[in-house]
Copies of this chain bind each other. A is one copy, B any other.
Amino acid sequence: MREISRTQVDARWSRPERVVLAVSVDKEGKADIIALGWKMKTSGVPPMVAISVGKTRYSHKLISEGKEFILAVPGEDMWEEVLYCGTHSGREVDKFKQTGLTPLPAKFVRPPVIKECIVNLECKVAGELDTGDHTVFAGEILNYWESEDQRRNLLSIGRESGYEFLGGGKGYRFGAIKR
């Protein structure tokens, strides 16, 4: 064992990372989408997920105020939309409009689900934790949706073998596990 810098160690334990989207709405119901790598499940009963959102992000404001979000899982065909959502701010652009993604009404929360995603989870914020430059939002899952196809998960990948590289840019690399 040797001590090591943080940049070096991240490459050793952080890949593959599944990429997700989170959808939130402002007071008028206008929706924003953020791309997230930092998320986990955090309860079985009741079912809950936790997401970590940067405090400067527009979605941070919307989720803090609205207390609801959709956790949406993009398919392998969606890396360009994910890259767009991850590199633009909802303060300046309408991400549904710019990406062409389709909002559909959810059943129990105000933010819409994303039609093109392979999974959508309707979440109500049940707790928040201040962690450095991010906030952890724990969401109780109220409803589950899935697409009727078998597209693979989109992953954030490194340069290891075993992945099909799908595309990327601005420091991001997206892929899926090779079939």
Residue numbers of A with Cβ under 8 A of B are 1-6, 8-9, 12-16, 18, 20, 37-48, 50, 52, 73, 104, 107, 113, 115, 118-121, 126-134, 136, 138, 140-141, 143-148, 152-153, 160-163, 177-179
Contact = CB atoms under 8 A, between A and B. Distances in A.
Contact of A132 (B1, B3, B140): B140
29 contacts: A1-B148, A3-B145, A6-B141, A8-B146, A9-B121, A9-B144, A13-B153, A14-B41, A15-B153, A38-B42, A40-B40, A40-B52, A41-B52, A42-B132, A42-B136, A43-B52, A44-B132, A45-B133, A46-B132, A48-B131, A48-B134, A50-B131, A126-B131, A127-B131, A129-B129, A136-B136, A160-B177, A162-B178, A178-B178
| Most interface-central of A3, A20, A152, A177 (chain B CB within 10 A) | A177
B133 A136 contact: no
A136 to B, nearest CB: 6
Counted per complex, copies of this chain come to 2
Given A2-B146, A12-B73, A160-B177, 5 more contacts: A1-B146, A3-B107, A43-B133, A44-B134, A132-B140
Nearest to A38: B40
Contacts of A143: 3
A134 B49 CA distance: 11
Given A45-B132, A129-B127, A144-B6, A13 B50 contact: no
Contact of A177 (B13, B20, B41, B177): B177
A52 B133 CA distance: 19
Contacts of A4: 144-146
Contacts of A130: 127
